[in-house]
Amino acid sequence: MTTPPLITDSHCHLDFPDFEGELPDILLRAAEAGVHRMVTICTKLRLEPSVRALAEANLQIFYAAGTHPMSAANEPLASVDELVAMSAHPKFVGIGESGLDYHYTAESMEIQKHSLLVHIEAAQRTGLPLIIHARAADQDMADILSAEHHNAPYSCVMHCYCSGPELAKTCLDMGFYLSMSGIATFPKSSEVRDIFASAPVTQVLVETDSPYLAPVPRRGKRNEPAYTAFTAKVGAEVYGMGIAEFAAQTEQNFERLFTKASRYKAAA
């Protein structure tokens, strides 16, 4: 039996009710697929203690926390000091997800922008990567990220990238990373695949965003970290690489961006 290459699911939501009572099985299936590490994302800061507990109880789980843009209007806004204090935890490896979503929640765009600036400042102060959700807000996203990066550089990953090529170029030019999700495996997602094909493979991560966006051949099912392997297979095809080579490259990319996770592994 061939051992699968090691892969990191750089963005999932293991605290969501979809996974309740199933975590041991989910982690076992992930390990069998080669997914040896994952970052679970807290999207509402009041839930941070339960997300932190998942990371504390499982060696392969790291976490990040922030206020999701779609929740910015109905959740208490994060403060920079609050995020900085959370970042002291050894398994807290990123700020967010934050960002802008004008597709579903355009009415709260001003609150979203304020929240985004808070998260950017926290990333600047901590040195941890910013994790960005962007939907139907390309110009505002490019303007804010660029202006703040000019003021004080920070690192960033555009999670589940499916925005336009112009925003992708702006982000890549700043040294940011694009994360490939199951969307890239969908037959009609040729534009997304083209954007990744034009991006340096050294600035690409893979993720599930589980429980959402299960890749082909699991499309329509509940997503889970093990399925990162399906997305990585398509990523390898996009770059004309073997799966082992592509997986090794995305591992290097992850550890270059999420340096705290890399140091934790070395210390463990």
Span 53-62, pLDDT tens digits = 999 999 999 9
Q: Which pair of structure tokens corresponds to residue 12?
A: 């999932």
Q: Which CATH architecture has domain 7-267?
A: Alpha-Beta Barrel (3.20)
Rounded to whole angstroms, the Cα distance separating 22 from 81 reads 34
Q: What is the DSSP string of 172-207?
A: HHTT-EEEE-GGGGSTT-HHHHHHHHTS-GGGEEE-
Structure confidence at residue 1 (pLDDT): 65
pLDDT in tens, 86-125: 999 999 999 999 999 999 999 999 999 999 999 999 999 9
8 A C-beta contact, residue 15 and residue 51:
yes
Domain ranges of the chain: 7-267
Answering whether pTM is above 0.95, one says yes
- For residue 2, what pLDDT is reported? 84
pLDDT tens figures, 17-38: 999 999 999 999 999 999 999 9
